[in-house]
Chain A
Amino acid sequence: MERKQFKFVAMMLFFPILQFLIFYVYINASSFVLAFTNIEGKFTLDNFKEVLSELKEPSRMNLMNSLIRSVITWAGNLFIVFPVCILFSYALYKKVKGANIFRVLFYMPGMIGSVVMTTMYRYMLDGVLLDVFYKWGWVSKEIYQSGFFYGDVSFKSVFIYGMWIGVGSHLVVLTGALTRIPEEVLESAKLDGVGFFREFFQIALPLIWPTVSTLIIYQLGIIFTADSGTYLLTGVWNDRASTGNYYLFNYVYEMTNSGNMNGAYYPATVGVIITVLTVPFVLIVRHFLEKHTDSVEY
């Protein structure tokens, strides 16, 4: 490599690597150490015992339910949002009527900050919609008094938000993959009289499958921490909407808010356990996907 090229590459990589070292390597190493440390800085396994005890018999916010809700959120994203996202990407790629407008609309949530989006959603749902629903007798007095973001209904409200906002999430990657499909293949299919959906399921989808499987593997990593803006939508301490991510955030938030300076051991341990549970799952599914997926070249 020439000296100039080397300098250029080094410069381009310096910040990402530095960021990776600080915010990934250091943070994770530090969390790992904390999980095995007690308040006196000595080695202990008590933190793990505490987490197991919380899983069995929650003393405060329910960890097990939080993890289950993350899995539900993750499943919703993978099995509902993701297929819809692929279909929409294909529709945009095929330039259906109004494709350009839809493209902007789908990208919009990604461009607008999540605080703005969640605020809009909250005001929409708890605003006129709730008034109308109550007037029409669609919701109970209890929900009318509590609003859509508190109590048992709150997780449903958060889940729907996640579904709605998630549709545009993979559009860029998927439309990018679709545009790589050779025109000739689709033209030949058209000449053979292949329709929109057959072309999608039997030609386009198999051709972009490597991208799809990569995105699936990518999503597997968040199975126990998937979250759709629970904090922004429901505020602090919502035991009925909490997810794995929210659980950890809430714990640390509350800890710092109460002026405590010593309590990061427990959330660090939860993080380590989530990692231990997630890694084999990701590896197994990856192995399965790789084994049962034909490589595509064009």
Chain B
Amino acid sequence: MKKITKKVIAVLMTTVFVLGSAVGVTGCSKKTNVSNEETTLNIRAFSAGWGVEYIKALAASFQAAYAKEGYKVNIVSADSGLSGDTVINELLLGDGNNIDMYFTSDITTGKMVFYSEAEGLDMIAADLSEFYESKPIKADGTEEDITIREKLRDGYEKYMTYYGDVEKYNGKQYCFPTKSSPNGLIVNKALLETYGLEVPKTTDELINCFQVISAKTEETGVYPTAWAGYNAAGYWQSMTEVWVPQYSGMEAYDKYLTMEYSEDPSEGWKVYEDPAWVENLKVQEVLLNLDYAPPKTLSMDHTTAQHLFMKGEAVFMTNGAWLQMEMSANYKEEAGNMTMIATPVISALGVKLGLDGKGGADTKKCDTVLSQIVGLLDEGKAAEEIISAVAVQNGVAVTVEQVEAIREARLIYTDQGVKEVVVLNAFSEKLDIAKLFLRFIASDDGGQIMYDYCHAYPACKPLTQLDTTANKSAFADSTYAIAMREGAQFIFRRSDGDRALLNFAFWNKYPAIQKSIAESRGKLTAEKIMEAEIEYAKKTWPEKVKALGE
């Protein structure tokens, strides 16, 4: 009897162990519902602020359009863990990976080429260059008039393209962006107006807004801003970095990203000497005053900060175009009332340009003139009209060059749209269907779904006006208005060039720069920060370059 009992227990244990292991292994892969049908696309999606409802809606429309062919879209999984690195790991499985398409975030063509080469594989993502030459296909099966390359928003293509040392991939596209996704300063306009304030056009005006709101905080319980030191202080970074190219131009900012100051790699550290950084930090020094944000800000998480903003306990917040979608479950109406505004122009630019007519000695006057010019530019006035208006109102003679410099500055914004892309598995046997689906996404019908389901505009510019009657989103419209301004240029904080190769962080002495500034309560000045950063860069750069073998 004893022997039988032992055997039964052993068999039971083994069964449980084997079943447990099997379930564990398959559970880890999250691919339990992969379809083996030849006409079904298997998709994995990154689910964050934008959600995945729009992908489901796109899939449903695509399936309806290709019902005759029997093409289907199977969303295998959607979760917030599907970062670019995870996707690369899965793509490296080659033909052992049965996912055909990924909607992901934070993936670059450079990284995919790097890992493909490191593993001795051909490029793991499908080449989309020919697809870019094809035309979007509408829900009724007809083609639109222009190619996807032509339809794509200005500036997006370069982020989808590989530019690097591996010649055979150079100039080819491996990603496709789905949305326009500006981020920057969002304001609760109605709340701002209760203080008799207007939307700020310059950083000095922004600071004034903060001071006025803060002066009444004790009485109103409303703070100028809400931000999250725990996990999202970086939102400030993406917004405030606009001030650098505003002050010194896009080329200077680009050099900072790549650390390629000149042809001579040993001079890379000099990018930190650009005065734009000190000016940028001077504004942050003021805005990040902890009296301007709710208590516990440095330990606060982003969801809590958003919640306070939505509740009307803060007037400004640095955030992204996904805000409405992310918060719509609990704050549908409130989110719709928020407005993204063009980044206020850095007031130091007015001083640099000497807008007071005295070489910048009168900083207040410089800002008054700067604000007037920005306002007139926003109204679409021509340089000549602006020059005469400034002469009449402020008695200063500004030049066309000065106006154009301000115009360029005003049109710079940050866009995360190039970060959220679709990548196709190069080993998939269903690439034709996958590309058809992408062509549908690129169409105006696809764009309409994007607007309706995630309050975002598509990365491919709509050829016809989107129908905004059913799901009107003033917030989405405000984000798109920023992106679609004539001549608008966006910055995106990519990591490439020598900076990426040398693992050179953006801020080295103060990596959590906003938190450091805020916590110092005025002790850590812009000058001190830049001195430390320049010293670090100057000291470590030669060794790093040497290690790289340059």
Residues of chain A at the chain B interface (Cβ within 8 Å): 8, 11-12, 15, 38-40, 46, 59-61, 122, 126, 130-131, 134, 142, 144-151, 154, 234-238, 254-256, 258-263
B67 at the interface (CB under 8 A from A): no
| Least Cβ–Cβ distance between B493 and chain A, in angstroms | 9
Distance in Å from the Cβ of A230 to the closest Cβ of chain B?
12
17 of the cross-chain contacts (CB-CB < 8 Å) are A8-B14, A38-B547, A39-B549, A59-B509, A59-B536, A122-B299, A145-B295, A146-B229, A146-B296, A146-B519, A147-B299, A147-B300, A151-B298, A234-B230, A237-B512, A254-B511, A256-B85
- Do B229 and A150 touch across chains, with their CB atoms under 8 A apart? yes
Bound: A130/B300 CA distance, A:
13
Q: Distance in Å from the Cβ of B118 to the closest Cβ of chain A?
A: 8
Residue B135 is within 8 A (CB to CB) of chain A in the complex: no
Cβ-closest 3 pairs across A and B: A147-B299, A259-B495, A150-B298
A134 to B294, CA, bound (A): 14
With a CB–CB cut-off of 8 A, which chain B residues contact A234?
230, 299
Contacts of B18 in A (CB 8 A): 11
Rounded to whole angstroms, the CA-CA distance of A292 and B300 in the bound complex is 50
Q: State the Cβ distance, B429 to closest chain A Cβ, in Å.
A: 30
Would A39 and B297 count as touching, CB distance under 8 A? no
Q: Determine whether the beta carbon of A258 is less than 8 Å from that of B298.
A: no
Binds A, one of B373-381, B420-428, B500-508: B500-508
Which residues on B sit within 8 Å (CB–CB) of A255? 503
Q: Does B519 lie within 8 Å of A150, measured CB to CB?
A: yes
Chain B residue with Cβ nearest A131: B295
Known pairs A11-B14, A144-B295; A260 contacts B500 (CB<8 A): yes
CB contact list, B293-316 vs A, under 8 A: 293, 295-300
Interface centre among B229, B298, B521 (most CB of A within 10 A): B298
Collect the chain B residues with CB atoms within 8 Å of residue A260's CB.
495, 500-501, 503
Residues in chain A near residue B297, CB distance under 8 A: 145-147
- Size class of the B contact interface (CB-based, 8 Å): 35 or more
Q: How far is the CA of A254 from the CA of B521 in the complex (A)?
A: 26
Question: Which residues of B lie under 8 Å from residue A151 when comparing CB positions?
Answer: 298, 519
**Closest-CB distance, B27 to chain A (whole angstroms):** 14
B195 at the interface (CB under 8 A from A): no
Docked CA distance A40–B494 (Å)? 24
For the complex, give the distance between the alpha carbons of A180 and B297 in Å: 52
Inside 8 A of A46's CB, which chain B residues have their CB? 547
| A8 lies within 8 A of B10 (CB) | yes
Whole-angstrom CA separation of A140 from B548 in the bound complex? 48
Q: Mark B95-125, 1 if CB is under 8 A from A, else 0.
A: 0000000000000101100110000000000
A8-B10, A236-B512 are known contacts. Are A258 and B500 too (CB-CB below 8 A)? Answer: yes
Which residues of the other chain, A, contact B110 by a CB distance below 8 angstroms? 259
- Given known contacts A60-B508, A145-B295, A149-B299, A259 and B515 CB-to-CB distance under 8 angstroms: no
CA separation between A238 and B515, bound complex, in Å?
Answer: 10
Asked if residues A259 and B290 are in contact (CB atoms below 8 Å), the reply is no
Residue B388 lies at the interface, judged by CB distance under 8 Å to chain A:
no
Q: Is the beta-carbon distance between B511 and A262 smaller than 8 angstroms?
A: no
Nearest-neighbour CB distance to chain A for B253, whole angstroms, equals: 17
For A152, the closest partner residue in chain B by CB is B519
Using Cβ atoms and an 8 Å threshold, which residues of chain A touch B290? 145-146
Max chain B C-beta neighbours (<10 A), residue from A148, A150, A154: A150
Q: B21 near A: Cβ within 8 Å?
A: yes
Knowing A258-B505, A259-B496 touch, does A60 contact B298 (C-beta < 8 A)? no
Q: Does B296 lie within 8 Å of A130, measured CB to CB?
A: yes
Q: Which residue of A lies closest to B513 (CB)?
A: A237
| Interface 1/0 per residue, B444-459 and A, CB below 8 Å | 0000000000000000
Complex-state Cα separation, A220 to B515, whole angstroms:
35
A246 to chain B: closest CB distance in Å? Answer: 14
What 1/0 mask marks residues of chain B from 1 to 44 whose CB sits below 8 Å from any chain A CB?
Answer: 00000000010001001100100000000000000000000000
Query: Which residue of the partner chain A has the closest CB to B503?
Result: A263
Whether B495 contacts A146 by the Cβ 8 Å rule is: no
B231 located at the interface, meaning its Cβ lies under 8 Å from any Cβ of chain A in the complex: yes
Q: Assuming the A-B contacts A60-B508, A235-B229, A256-B85, are A15 and B21 also in contact, with contact meaning beta carbons closer than 8 angstroms in the complex?
A: yes
**Which residues of A sit under 8 angstroms from B500, Cβ to Cβ?**
258-261
Which residues of A lie under 8 Å from residue B508 when comparing CB positions?
Answer: 59-60
Cβ of A254: which chain B residues have Cβ within 8 Å of it? Answer: 505, 511
Complex CA–CA separation, A142 to B299 (angstroms): 12
A148 to B296, CA, bound (A): 8
Residue contact A147 to B495, C-beta cutoff 8 Å? no
Query: When the two chains form the complex, which single residue of B231, B296, B494 contacts A144, counting CB atoms closer than 8 Å?
Result: B296
CB-based nearest B residue for A14: B21
Within the complex, which residue of A142, A147, A150, A261 is in contact with B114, where a contact is CB–CB below 8 Å? A261
